[in-house]
Chains A and B, each alone.
Chain A
Amino acid sequence: MSQTAIIKTTKLSKQFKKFTAVHDLDLTIYSGDVYGFLGPNGAGKSTTIRMLMGLIFPTSGHIEMFNKEFQHHREFILGKIGAIIEKPDFYNYASALQNLEMLNKLQPRQLHKNQIYEVLELVGLKGREKSKVKTFSQGMKQRLGFAQALMHNPDLIILDEPTNGLDPQGVKDVRDLILKLNKEHKKTILISSHILSEIEIICNRMVIIQKGVKVVEGYVGDLLNHNELHVSFEFEQGKDVRAFINQHNYLQQKLIEIVHERYHFNLFNNEVAEVNKLFIENGFGVKSMIPVRSLEDYFLNMT
């Protein structure tokens, strides 16, 4: 079955004077994707997203969304998108409700006031509807950002670093919300991040860009399973872990370093559970096991 492309960019480029922010970028995002847009800070993620939202004009290349050329169908396309672009900025002198009411007036599918209340409840701002935005924490502003992005029931949701400034519970809530929107409401989602683990948890497909150029694009499972994880183990006191490792060639080969009683191994995805089992079966209490895979490590593996 052929998939429908919701976003398709062809040789998309953006030049700022002598600096090339994005170069010949080809992206294809299909209907139903949770698509991770990954790259270190300054890689060109936000510039690309701004071009997709019509905030920045490409120097060359094409953007097609919902099977229409963006340049000629800008308003139609933007009516089908909800977005958070970088940090969520609002009219600080107005309340959360007033901000949403203002933006609601500009949408083709307008909500009634009680529906706006429902959206605010969905993002966890119930009870703060009439508070001025200037009294909000960064996390609350981020939630309000979600509310404005979702309130007109868009088909495509674009989120630029959506977990920035959120506490761990907030990050989890955002992840759950994204997965819910995709699974239950069939929304296509493009999410940019510089945190690989975040993309790994949420997305089915991803692209990595660096210095404005695409490094790799594909299914998350396919891309990440080919690479080794850097896993840090911590053990309970008592038995001599070092001696045990020295007795096993396999573990010796996989051990990278020992830092502050933490044993760092280089393992493939399917080896993590086996190594854990090996330690437990031999009477070692595994206190913690943390996969550490930075984007930089991934880049090194890719190149």
Chain B
Amino acid sequence: MNLLFLKLVQIELMKIFRKGRSYIGFGAIAFIVIVIQIALYVDGESYLDLGTQSLKESFTFQGNLLNGYLSVYIILSSLWVHIPFLIALVAGDLIAGEASAGTLRILLFRPISRTQVILAKFSAILIYVFAIVVFMAVLSIGTGLLIFGEGDLFVMKDMIYIFESTDSLWRILASYAFSFLSMSMVASLAFMLSSFVDSSQGPTIMTMSIIIVFMIISSVDFSIFRAIKPFMFTSYMGAWREFFTDPVDWQKIYKAIIALLMHITLFLGITTLYFRKKDILT
């Protein structure tokens, strides 16, 4: 990695963080996390009673069920579907936004290769995604523990799992790490679409549309969709939930990681090949 490339990454980061749209994601996350925490604080007990009503007829619950870890789990479940849109908003603008503003031209006649430009932009968006995920993790875990304190994590899926307090934090952190990979995949898709067009709204809308369509197909269990599901990245984005099973289905998680990494590589490869030969007409 040479010095010029690092400077390029620094410039791309400066561009991202000087734009107002880059803070929409942070603002939205902060708003939603705080609203969910307040709602849980005000109405959490009745929410929990509703979920555990049938169980309470047979079991007695002891300790602090409404704790910081549960609030983080609820936030993770609510937000992982919506964060991609916030990522696409920034990643979709990276090339197309510069093309429509005319600044791509001024950048590309510098003595730097187009591959370096693409890789620098991609590195910058990965750093942005990392910042978003870390922000969400710190805010949700911090406020959760501050308001509700520690306790055993109660998760209802096809089975009921109760993780001890000491066994919960690593699962949450691992889920966030996995979310970073998922969101990087979303960023690479939006980034690829951004290289195809010269209008910044297009790639964001296209990314959102693809994710929505794929999510619908992934969630509907028709036989005709079963054959294509393994090739849709949305089939792997929800694998963070596997960290909240006991024992953890590592095979499923590894498979999802490999599938997401393959998608990232494919999208980045297409972007690089296409952009290296693209005529800059704006």
Q: Which residues of A line the B interface, CB within 8 A? A: 50, 53-57, 74-79, 81, 83, 85-94, 102-103, 105-108, 148
Contact B108–A90 (Cβ < 8 Å): no
User: Which listed residue (B15, B20, B109) contacts A54, Cβ 8 A?
Assistant: B109
**Which B residues have a C-beta under 8 Å from some C-beta of A?**
4, 7-8, 10-11, 14-15, 18-20, 101-103, 105-113, 277, 279-281
Do B109 and A85 touch across chains, with their CB atoms under 8 A apart?
yes
When the two chains form their complex, are residues B111 and A78 in contact, meaning their CB atoms are under 8 A apart? yes
Q: For B11, what are the chain A residues with a Cβ–Cβ distance below 8 Å? A: 102, 105-106
Known contacts A91-B15, A106-B8; is-contact A53 B109 (Cβ 8 Å): yes
In this complex, what residue of B is CB-closest to A84? Answer: B106
Distance A92 CA – B112 CA, assembled complex (angstroms): 22
A55 vs B105: C-alpha distance in the bound complex, in angstroms? Answer: 7
Tell which of A50, A75, A76, A106 touches B280, judged by Cβ atoms closer than 8 Å. Answer: A50
- Are B19 and A54 in contact, with the CB atoms below 8 A? no
Q: Which residue of B lies closest to A50 (CB)?
A: B280
**Most A CB atoms within 10 A — which of B102, B111, B113, B280?**
B111
A83 contacts across to B, CB distance below 8 A:
109
User: What is the chain B residue whose CB lies nearest that of A102?
Assistant: B11
> A76 to B111, Cβ gap below 8 A?
yes
Given A55-B279, A94-B18, decide whether A108 and B111 contact each other with a Cβ distance below 8 A. Answer: yes
Known A55-B108, A87-B102: A105·B281 in contact at CB below 8 Å: no
Complex contact B105–A89 (CB within 8 A)? yes
Query: Is the CB–CB distance between A75 and B105 below 8 Å?
Result: no
Contact A107 B18 (CB under 8 A): no
CB of B103 within 8 A of CB of A56, answer: no
> 17 A-B pairs, CB-CB below 8 angstroms?
A50-B280, A56-B279, A57-B279, A74-B111, A75-B111, A78-B109, A83-B109, A89-B101, A89-B103, A89-B105, A90-B103, A91-B15, A91-B18, A93-B18, A103-B106, A106-B112, A107-B111
